Amino acid sequence: MKKILYILPVLGMLTIASCSDFLEQQSPDQLTSSSFWRNKSDAEAGLAATYAMLEGAVDEWAFAEVKWPVEAYREDICKLGSDALNYQNWVELAEFNYTNGNSQFTSYWKLNYRGISNANQVIEKVGQMSSAAITDTDKNQIVAEARFLRAYYHMKLILNWEKIIIRNKYITNQSELSAPLASRTEAWDFITSELKAAADVLPPAQPQDKTGRATSGAANSYLGFAYLTRAYEETAQKQAHLNEAVTALNKVQGYSLVKNYVSLFDGTNKNSPESVFELQFSDNTANGAFYKTALHFWMAAGELGGWDEILPTTMLMNEFKKEGKIATTGNYDSRLYATVFFKDPYFNDPANPRIFGETYDNLFGGIDKPAFRKFIPPTQDKMNEDFTGMNVPLMRYSNVLLMKAEALNELTRTAEAIPFINTVRNRADMPAMTGTTYADVKAQIEHERIIEFPLENFRFYDLRRWGKTKAALDAVGRTNFDPAKNSFYPVPITEVQNN
């Protein structure tokens, strides 16, 4: 995807923070936005450039350094590692003393708007292509995928900023760059309408040669997430939004949970039956391709050969352990062992050393320093590689099940919610939940979401949705959090200056 992006300089040239003289210039030996869109191959290339902007993955080095500091450092389940303390713009995010000039969320804002700009160009230009250039079936699907991506990029922004600019057309005139911030209701209305339109056209599954591209399942999953979020923000319409969430999530069919949880994150089980939407990378370097990242170094503790940028908090470890060793394996919840390397007999068995062929104590020198296992390759040889092609799951079926349980419980359909929770627990070798009341189920959902999604960066949005952000951060000693200032990021100063 990145290579295609470079081949298509006409895409992504405009962001809302800047404008370019290319709008007024024409070069006879270069493609322009008016001459590029000639056939299906061009349409597919334009769509690939739009996918390439997902999560800022166009830069193999910067990928981790934008997404996780912006999304994860503010969570109560993660903390900065020793090396991260050297980067003031990261520390500001964790300590909630950033300004609107912070480089990391400024990049996050720009990357998502670049994705939106690419999507808008695909929607407009492919939509205008004649039937002689592309069949209606191909045209409709490409446009639907672009609309899904346009909604996805807008959703990433509205989850992190209180108000955003809705960009729903391809900008061709400099005067169109300046635009007002939309209300949250306007933004959510746009996002949900786009996801519904995409879901109506997209297939339930993509053919093998299009693995990783958006499906109706992905569109309905994010539609359910959008309505679940809106239900708490727009309380006058809470019941209607919850019903919309359940309707959308019920349409997510054909997926199942994978027993081997760790395989979803170590590159050994890409695009699994649990994966609803997944960011694609590859170890294949044929013909000069390069779709890899240094994510494993960023995630790994120093003792594992990583850079020591992010670590689990004591709060997360306590949450994993609080039910005790009641799993059918005789251990704690199996997700703990798949998510974190920690000082435990499981990782200190000399007859079966489970961390790159070593025991925990050998690698960590006897100290008790929990370290993330998610997004770490399974072998020392893979860990030593400069770049890896591990995929990153963005939406998993377990999230669909837990969101559905939450929506049903909020609709006082509590008995219907419990089986979805137990399905997720069963995968982790845990017994069925105890309790049957609304409060019991709400507490269980909160517990399950904490330990199911570390490093998948849903925790902050969950806390804000439940109105518990301040209390949760205070509980781990991060008292700098001010809900009035830090529930959302400020609009970047570069946007303020240019718009």
C-beta separation of 287 from 297 below 8 A: no
Residues 6+ apart with CB under 8 A from 117: 11, 12, 13, 14, 15, 16, 167, 170, 171
C-beta separation of 461 from 467 below 8 A: no
Reading the block at residue 396, the tokens are 């998993």
Q: Residue 235 and residue 34: Cα distance in Å, rounded?
A: 45
C-beta separation of 375 from 265 below 8 A: yes
pLDDT of res. 28: 46
Q: Give how far the C-alpha of residue 204 lies from the chain's centroid of Cα atoms, to the nearest Å.
A: 20
pLDDT of res. 175: 84
Regions in the chain scoring below 70 on pLDDT? 1-33
Reading the block at residue 119, the tokens are 């999507």
Q: Residue 88 and residue 102: Cα distance in Å, rounded?
A: 9
Nearest to 188 by CA among 219, 234, 130: 234
| Total residues found in the chain within this entry | 499
Count of helix runs (H) and strand runs (E) in the chain: 21, 6
Per-residue model confidence as pLDDT tens digits over 398-415: 999 999 999 999 999 999
pLDDT of res. 24: 39
Structural domains of the chain, ranges and CATH numbers in brackets: 1-183 (1.25.40), 295-388 (no CATH), 395-480 (no CATH)
Amino acid at site 4: I
Name the 3-class secondary structure at 393: strand
Backbone CA torsion sign across 333, 250, 164, 482: negative
Max CA distance (Å), the chain: 71
pLDDT of res. 286: 87
pLDDT of res. 30: 55
pTM: 0.94
Q: Which alpha helices (DSSP H) does 184-307 contain, by range?
A: 184-201, 216-233, 238-250, 295-299
Residues 6+ apart with CB under 8 A from 6: none
Q: Residue 397 and residue 252: Cα distance in Å, rounded?
A: 8
pLDDT of res. 104: 97
Name the 3-class secondary structure at 110: helix
pLDDT of res. 59: 82
Name the 3-class secondary structure at 279: strand
Measured CA to CA in angstroms, residue 486 lies from 94, 106, 426 at distances of 11, 15, 36
Q: For the chain, first and last CA: distance in Å?
A: 30
Q: Give how far the C-alpha of residue 180 lies from the chain's centroid of Cα atoms, to the nearest Å.
A: 27
Reading the block at residue 435, the tokens are 């309790």
Burial class of 29 by CB neighbour count within 10 A (0 to 12, 13 to 18, 19+)? exposed
Name the 3-class secondary structure at 387: coil
Name the 3-class secondary structure at 463: helix
pLDDT of res. 452: 99
